[in-house]
Amino acid sequence: MPPALSDTIVALSTPPGAGAIAVLRLSGPQAIQLTDELFAGKRLHEQPGHTLHYGTLRDEGRILDEVVVSLFRGPHSYTREDVVEISCHGSDYIVQQVLAALVRRGARLAEAGEFTKRAFLHGAFDLAQAEAVADLIAADSALSHQVAMQQMRGGFSRELKDLRARLVQFASLLELELDFGEEDVEFADRTGLTSLLQELQTVIRQLLRSFELGNVIKNGVTTVIAGKPNAGKSTLLNALLNEERAIVSAVPGTTRDFIEDEVSIEGIRFRFVDTAGLRETTDVVESIGVERTRQRVRQAALLLYLFDLTATTPAEVATELAELNPEGRIPTLAVGNKLDQIDTAEAAAFAQPDTLLISAATGQGLPELQQALLQQVRGSGLDRTGSATIVTNVRHARSLEAALEALDAVLLGLSVHHGTELLAADLRRALASLGEITGEISTDDLLTSIFTQFCIGK
């Protein structure tokens, strides 16, 4: 049974500020009646769901606005309750007046994410799907949109529920053995259980691997672009930005010398962190800058080392790379720039794996550079994922890790012939962790922390 949600909530569902239209949304048992009290036009409570009505909103004899009301009768609505959406003119003043009139009549201002929370509580979708709604609103690239859409439509949830259902079957057989206590019976076939557990672990590991890529899709790839002054870093960034006609964002980094630019390549966002430039220096302030550059490199997912082909020898490139990335842990692309200034014989001297030659000024070699950047990401995720489902949510990844760990314990218990009681306890833990993802098992704290990350009105 869904919990009793007796009050009617209201919020502005479009962004605040002036606009052509603003949409206010009400949900709850009094949604239609409260709107009726303000609405001059047809009697809304006599109208069927999924209908639109034009009229005026009046409060204390004053016309507030001409509006269109969309009527949804529960359970055929987003929240499964009666829902009214009022489309009024997009003025903050009008919105405030209408909200105030509705609140005076008994509506309550909705908290962040409360509409989606109600939809979840009424079983319209599970928790993972609800979270995908927030991701969908925040999606800013083709790929992040695609992944969020897939999750919202239940792809990930289906995969999990299937896993969980098969475990539940075994768990109930084990619980049955417990009921028989001393009689020492085995209903649950241990060999079958072992192979099921191993199969589940394979799927969970795949999902966890997909999280690496999911994280990249959601948060972008931090790429440090390092190189000496005049190597052409700014020219290259501009060329990449123009190439993709991406939205240019120049947010200052934590210090003034780091500028972040975002370039989207085939739906994957690369966050370029520019550095002050590398140079040997005796100046204390500058050497701090160099140290910071190295620190940045250590935290990056990718290092793009740009050098000037007309002013660098292949040996210098090797030395600089070794200094920037001493342990070679960070995937690195060495990129020689100003190819337009040297001849083919000179260029041949730089031929190395993971070295590309480009001209940021003429655009030569840029498509190859973009493909090389993508390859770095895909090589580390997409190809190995082997799963159509991509995990993007940290909470889901943590729960999957916990489930994996609990399944390990069950497997270990089986191999050393633990008693049924211990096995059943570990299995319950695994089930709980999987159940947390979709919300089959949830706590108030968890729900609060999830839904407060939503915007008001969603």
* # residues contacting ligand GDP (CB under 6 A): 15
Q: Does 230 bind ligand GDP (CB under 6 A)?
A: yes
230 is in an annotated binding site: yes
User: What does the buried/exposed string (b/e) look like for 177-203 if buried means 16 or more CB atoms within 10 Å of the residue's CB?
Assistant: beeeeeeeeeebeeeebeebbeebbeb
> Given candidates 231, 373, 403, 424, which one binds ligand GDP under the rule CB under 6 A?
231
What is the token pair recorded at 184?
């020492």
Rg (CA), the chain: 29
Q: Does 341 bind ligand GDP (CB under 6 A)?
A: yes
Alpha carbon distance 85, 106 (integer Å): 17
Which residues does residue 224 pair with via DSSP β-bridges, in sequence order? 273, 303
> Given candidates 117, 164, 338, 396, which one binds ligand GDP under the rule CB under 6 A?
338
234 is in an annotated binding site: yes
What element of type H or E holds 303?
strand 302-308
User: From the CB of 282, what's the least distance to ligand GDP, in Å?
Assistant: 21
Q: Does 206 bind ligand GDP (CB under 6 A)?
A: no
> Given candidates 227, 331, 413, 439, which one binds ligand GDP under the rule CB under 6 A?
227
Alpha carbon distance 97, 103 (integer Å): 10
If the CB atoms of residues 227 and 439 are measured against ligand GDP, the closer one turns out to be: 227
432 is in an annotated binding site: no
325 is in an annotated binding site: no
Residue count of the chain, please give it. Answer: 458
Which residues does residue 54 pair with via DSSP β-bridges, in sequence order? 68
What is the token pair recorded at 5?
């949600």
User: From the CB of 222, what's the least distance to ligand GDP, in Å?
Assistant: 19
Q: How far from 256 is each of 221, 223, 233, 252, 301, CA to CA, in Å?
A: 21, 17, 16, 6, 21
Q: How many CB atoms neighbour CB 115 within 10 A?
A: 27
| Interface segment toward ligand GDP; rule CB under 6 A; list 23-31, 111-119, 280-288, 338-346 | 338-346
User: From the CB of 232, what's the least distance to ligand GDP, in Å?
Assistant: 3
> Given candidates 232, 381, 413, 457, which one binds ligand GDP under the rule CB under 6 A?
232
Q: Does 361 bind ligand GDP (CB under 6 A)?
A: yes
56 is in an annotated binding site: no
What is the token pair recorded at 313?
């020898």
Alpha carbons within 13 angstroms on the beta-carbon side of residue 411 total: 14
Q: Does 455 bind ligand GDP (CB under 6 A)?
A: no
Q: Does 210 bind ligand GDP (CB under 6 A)?
A: no
DSSP, collapsed to helix, strand or coil, labels residue 177 as helix
449 is in an annotated binding site: no
User: From the CB of 358, what's the least distance to ligand GDP, in Å?
Assistant: 7
> Given candidates 87, 157, 312, 359, which one binds ligand GDP under the rule CB under 6 A?
359
What is the contact surface with ligand GDP in residues (CB under 6 A)?
227, 229-235, 337-338, 340-341, 359-361
